[in-house]
Amino acid sequence: MSRKLVLNINEYVHSSDLHENSNQIKKNISKCSYPDNISRNDFDQWSIVSNLGNTLQQQMPVVEINTITSNNSNLDQNYRQNRTYMSQSKLNTSSRLEEKQKRRRPWFIWIISIIQLCVFIFELIYNWLLTTRPIETNLSLNPLFGPNPHVLINIGANFSPCMHAIDGITNNVSSTNFPCPNSATLKHTGCTLSQLCGYNGVSSTPNQWYRFIISMFLHVGIVHIVINLLGQLLIAGQIEKKIGIFRIAFIYFASGIFGFILGGNFAPDGLSRVGCSGSLFAVIALALLDLLYHWKKTKYPKIQLTIHLVDIIINFVLGLLPGIDNFSHVGGFVMGLLLGLAILGSPVNLRRRKKPKLFRPIMNDWNNPLWYEKLFYNRQRKWWAWWLVRFISLAVAVTLFALFTESFYSGRIKCSWCKYISCLPVNSWCDLGKLNVVNS
pLDDT digits over 106-139, tens only?
Answer: 999 999 999 999 999 999 999 999 888 999 888 8
Res 48 pLDDT > 80: no
Q: What domains, with CATH codes, occur in the chain?
A: 107-352+378-431 (1.20.1540.10)
Helix (H) or strand (E) holding 192: strand 191-192
Q: Spot the catalytic one: 164, 219, 224, 329.
A: 329
Task: Assign 361 a pLDDT band (cuts: 50, 70, 90).
Answer: very low
Residue 416: CB atoms within 10 A of its CB come to 7
Cα–Cα distance, 262 to 271 (Å, whole number): 13
277 vs 383: which has the higher pLDDT: 277
Question: Left, alpha or beta for 158 (phi > 0: left; psi -120 to 50: alpha)?
Answer: beta
Exposed / middle / buried, residue 131 (Cβ in 10 Å: 0-12, 13-18, 19+): buried
What's the distance, Cα to Cα, between the start and end of the chain in Å?
148
Q: Active-site residue 294, yes or no?
A: no
Q: Spot the catalytic one: 160, 277, 393, 407.
A: 277
pTM of the model: 0.75
Cα–Cα distance, 270 to 439 (Å, whole number): 17
Res 345 pLDDT > 70: yes
Task: Assign 433 a pLDDT band (cuts: 50, 70, 90).
Answer: confident
Exposed / middle / buried, residue 402 (Cβ in 10 Å: 0-12, 13-18, 19+): exposed
Cα–Cα distance, 308 to 300 (Å, whole number): 13
399 vs 9: which has the higher pLDDT: 399
Annotate 306-343 with DSSP letters as a single string.
HHHHHHHHHHHHHTTSTT--HHHHHHHHHHHHHHHHHH
Q: What is the mean pLDDT of residues 390-407?
A: 96
Q: What is the mean pLDDT of the chain?
A: 78
Q: What is the mean pLDDT of residues 81-110?
A: 67
Q: Active-site residue 219, yes or no?
A: no
C-beta separation of 407 from 413 below 8 A? yes
Residue type for 319, please? G
- Residue 369 pLDDT: 59
Residue 360: CB atoms within 10 A of its CB come to 14
Cα–Cα distance, 418 to 327 (Å, whole number): 9
C-beta separation of 154 from 161 below 8 A? no
CA torsion through residues 338, 339, 344, 345, sign: positive
Q: What is the mean pLDDT of residues 267-274?
A: 91
